[in-house]
């Protein structure tokens, strides 16, 4: 099991993560751009058809209109609602094309997230989790690697640091975020500080 490094430096301007209500309105541009680019990349690699992309985009717009930030994922729709994308094939293609490592965050200790200046909404919007830092290297797991706007967003957040990207499944990212938010909620209900 991987865990936070005891010799790792903390992030500049570190503050506790805020577990706040997610807002579609604030995150709409990033949601739309990230999903649009992801969809195009999937069609370009012949992982889905144009027809499947059009159907998924319609569902995505309905979800965005309903205000469900966690559900506003083209990848989630293609995998689980429409069942037209094979996630293992997608991950294999990303690993092969970009020479990335894979990670499953299921049993990863996410306590190092407490030191990162991070908005969890943005993790949900891009299905991406910065999960560790060792000196000037930031480790980031994502299910949205094929989305250039999602990657660019996180590269901008950690400008000046070297990023080590990992590909991860949608379920792994979602499970890690849900588990971490659950831990924050338990601590808040028990009156413990988040940091």
In a domain, 91, yes or no: yes
Do 3 and 109 form a contact (C-beta atoms < 8 A)? yes
How do strand 101-102 and strand 128-134 relate by DSSP bridges? Answer: unpaired
In a domain, 140, yes or no: yes
What gap in Å lies between CA 193 and CA 195, rounded to an integer? 6
Task: Give the containing element (helix H, strand E) for 29.
Answer: helix 24-44
> In the prediction, which pLDDT does 9 show?
30
In a domain, 2, yes or no: no
- pLDDT interval class at 69 (50, 70, 90): confident
In a domain, 7, yes or no: no
In a domain, 8, yes or no: no
Residues near 26 by Cβ (< 8 Å), separated by ≥ 6? 121
In a domain, 17, yes or no: no
Question: Tokens 């996410």 map to which residue?
Answer: 110
Q: How many CB atoms lie within 10 A of CB 188?
A: 12
The pLDDT > 90 percentage for the chain reads: 58
> In the prediction, which pLDDT does 24 show?
61
Instruction: Give the tens place of pLDDT for each residue, 101-146.
Output: 999 998 888 777 777 767 888 898 899 999 988 889 999 999 999 9
> In the prediction, which pLDDT does 195 show?
52
Q: Which domain holds residue 113?
A: 24-189
In a domain, 48, yes or no: yes
Q: What's the structural domain count of the chain?
A: 1
In a domain, 10, yes or no: no
């Amino acid at each position: 099991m991987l865990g936070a490094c005891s010799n790792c430096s903390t992030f500049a301007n570190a503050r506790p993560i805020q577990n706040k209500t997610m807002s579609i309105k604030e995150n709409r541009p990033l949601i739309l751009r990230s999903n649009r680019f992801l969809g195009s990349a999937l069609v370009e690699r012949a992982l889905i058809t144009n027809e499947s992309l059009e159907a998924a985009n319609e569902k995505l717009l309905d979800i965005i209109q309903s205000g469900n930030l966690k559900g506003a994922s083209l990848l989630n729709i293609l995998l689980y609602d429409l069942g037209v994308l094979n996630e293992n094939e997608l991950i294999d293609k990303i690993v092969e094309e970009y020479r990335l490592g894979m990670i499953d965050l299921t049993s990863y200790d996410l306590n190092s997230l407490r030191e990162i200046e991070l908005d969890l909404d943005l993790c949900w919007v891009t299905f991406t989790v910065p999960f560790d830092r060792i000196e000037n290297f930031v480790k980031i797991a994502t299910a949205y690697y094929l989305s250039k706007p999602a990657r660019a967003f996180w590269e901008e957040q950690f400008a000046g640091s070297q990023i080590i990207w990992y590909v991860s499944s949608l379920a792994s990212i979602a499970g890690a975020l849900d588990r971490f938010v659950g831990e924050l909620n338990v601590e808040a209900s028990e009156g413990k500080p988040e940091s």
